[in-house]
């Protein structure tokens, strides 16, 4: 089952981003407020998680003249997978959430501990299956 999730890009100024790129200023300076969603693929010793960032559909229909409000980012999520999302909720606050899609197609918040426990369970199951396949009777 698939589900959609959306977030407003509050405070992004496309003209300013273009100027930063032209001046060679790092992406972290102008992308820090851009919403993103990433599928979590597993643990990573460097960044905490192996992530695959999803491409967003960007809708400017309700945006103001500068694009600092009303720009909507939308992503399609699939059930059975874990996601991390980050998006601004207002001009000063950025929200980070862990998400999954239920079998009914509802997006729900989950805890980081639940994700880690499921990955641990999957690793134990994978190891058990590899040991089981090596046994002969």
pLDDT at 124: 81
pLDDT at 98: 96
pLDDT at 65: 80
pLDDT at 56: 92
Q: What is the torsional sign of CA 129, 131, 132, 133?
A: positive
pLDDT at 21: 67
CA 130 to chain centre: 31
pLDDT at 27: 55
- Flag residues of the chain having pLDDT under 70: 13-21, 23-32, 131-137
What separation in angstroms does the CA of 72 have from each of 34, 38, 129? 11, 17, 44
pLDDT at 93: 86
pLDDT at 26: 58
Q: Show contacts of 98-102: CB within 8 Å, 24+ apart.
A: 98/40, 99/5, 99/37, 101/1, 101/2, 101/3, 101/77, 102/1
């Amino acid at each position: 089952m698939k589900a959609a999730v959306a977030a407003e890009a509050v405070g992004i100024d496309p003209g300013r981003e273009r100027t930063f790129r032209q001046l060679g200023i790092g992406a972290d300076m102008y992308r820090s407020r851009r919403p993103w969603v990433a599928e979590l693929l597993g643990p990573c010793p460097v960044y905490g998680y192996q992530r695959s960032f999803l491409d967003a559909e960007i809708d400017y229909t309700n945006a103001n003249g500068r694009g600092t409000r009303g720009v909507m980012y939308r992503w399609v999520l699939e059930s059975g997978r874990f996601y991390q999302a980050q998006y601004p909720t207002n001009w000063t606050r950025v929200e980070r959430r862990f998400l999954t899609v239920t079998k009914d197609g509802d997006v729900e918040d989950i805890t980081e501990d639940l994700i880690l426990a499921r990955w641990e369970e999957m690793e134990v199951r994978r190891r058990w299956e590899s040991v089981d396949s090596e046994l002969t009777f």
